[in-house]
Amino acid sequence: MAQKGQQLKTFKEGKGTKTVFTLNTGDKMPGVGLGTWQSKPNEVREAVKHALQSGYRHIDTALAYGNESEVGDGIIDSGVPRNEIWLTTKLDNPWHKRVPEGIASSLKDLKTDYVDLYLMHWPSSTDPDDLKKSYTDWNFIDTWREMQKLVGTGKVRNIGVSNFDQENLEKLLAADSTTIVPAVNQIELHPNHPSPKLLKYNQSQGIHSTAYSCLGSTDSPLYKDKTLLELAEKKGKTPQQCMLMWGLQRETSVIPKSVSPKRIDANFELDGWELTDEEMQTLSSLKDRFKVCGDGWLPAGVKVFFGNDE
């Protein structure tokens, strides 16, 4: 594991669907994964199976999505050996005081002995007896201390965080109990929420950034962005493919969600072409801003986004 105080690095190799990111632990994570948030029952099993049979080797899920069991079934149905698949899941907020139980529940539902990456879903330690309240005697630093204990049990190959702004990451890294630097920070990243400062900060700490809602999520306003549509048309690619390529070329992994076999396939057509520096710049310079995942739904007083991560 990547110990605090070491000079840590994460780097990219390969292009398109062959992109692989070496994490600060030395493990290699495929750059393109299938997202599964909001994938409905009876859809996600088939989606996971189809994606794996079409070449995807990275699946992103979470206890909070309520679909780990179907994701596990999809993996089995695909016939792709477990050791060829990168599987990420996440610890849900009301489980922060129950990390061993959280991972046990995920492993049972996913029908696997280990996950490749276990993320703290949000820096919010929510009281399971009253979801509107946070614990008063526990915070994300305590949760991370407990997550660190999973390393070496064989149940998790890497641990990381999600939805961490620089402020909370600094707090986490400064804590005496923090000995392991997160391998990944999974955050919202798309051309209308590019967060260049946070990306740079993650990189400076040797933390890989995964882009969630990398297409702008459900009913994405980006699908109507004129600049993006023109660029895609000129390129002979879909706007979604252009956004995914933009993400990969910014050295972030991308985890587009789809339950449509056609779109799952199209989102994986990323080989043999790239965006030029100028095209990258164009997509990085879109003026509109929106955020898919805010923090208003978390218990009062929980500060997750500090407004400087756009």
Report the greatest alpha carbon distance in the chain. 56
Instruction: State the nearest-atom distance from the C-beta of 246 to ligand NAP, in Å.
Output: 13
Which of 63, 293, 298, 302 is the binder for ligand NAP (CB under 6 A)? 293
Give, as ranges, the residues between 172 and 201 that touch ligand NAP (CB under 6 A): 186
- 3-class SS at 246? helix
Q: What angle do CA 29, 34, 36 make, to 5 degrees?
A: 125
The count of residues interacting with ligand NAP (CB under 6 A) is 30
257 binds ligand NAP (CB under 6 A): yes
Q: Which of 65, 118, 201, 212 is catalytic?
A: 65
**Where does 121-222 show beta strands of DSSP type E?**
159-162, 184-188, 208-212
What is the distance between the alpha carbons of residues 135 and 138, in angstroms, rounded to a whole number? 5
Indicate the residue among 96 and 121 with the shorter CB distance to ligand NAP.
121
Q: Reading across the β-sheet that carries 11-13, which strands appear in turn?
A: 11-13, 20-22, 28-30
What is the distance between the alpha carbons of residues 298 and 300, in angstroms, rounded to a whole number? 6
Indicate the residue among 60 and 146 with the shorter CB distance to ligand NAP.
60
Indicate the residue among 176 and 226 with the shorter CB distance to ligand NAP.
226
Site string for ligand NAP, 19-38 (x = CB under 6 A): ----------------xxxx
Q: By Cβ distance, which residue is nearest to ligand NAP?
A: 35
Please tell me what DSSP assigns to residue 221: G
What is the distance between the alpha carbons of residues 15 and 84, in angstroms, rounded to a whole number? 19
Which of 260, 281, 284, 285 is the binder for ligand NAP (CB under 6 A)? 260
126 binds ligand NAP (CB under 6 A): no
Does 135 qualify as catalytic in the annotation? no
240 binds ligand NAP (CB under 6 A): yes
Instruction: State the nearest-atom distance from the C-beta of 117 to ligand NAP, in Å.
Output: 11
Burial of residue 179 (CB within 10 Å: 0-12, 13-18, 19+) is middle
The sign one gets for the Cα dihedral 50, 23, 64, 295 is negative
Q: Is 193 annotated as a binding residue?
A: no
What is the distance between the alpha carbons of residues 221 and 223, in angstroms, rounded to a whole number? 5
Residues that bind ligand NAP in the complex, under the rule CB under 6 A: 35-38, 60, 121, 162-163, 186, 212-218, 220, 238, 240, 255-260, 263, 266-267, 292-293
Which residues are marked as active site? 65
Q: Which residues are annotated as a binding site?
A: 121
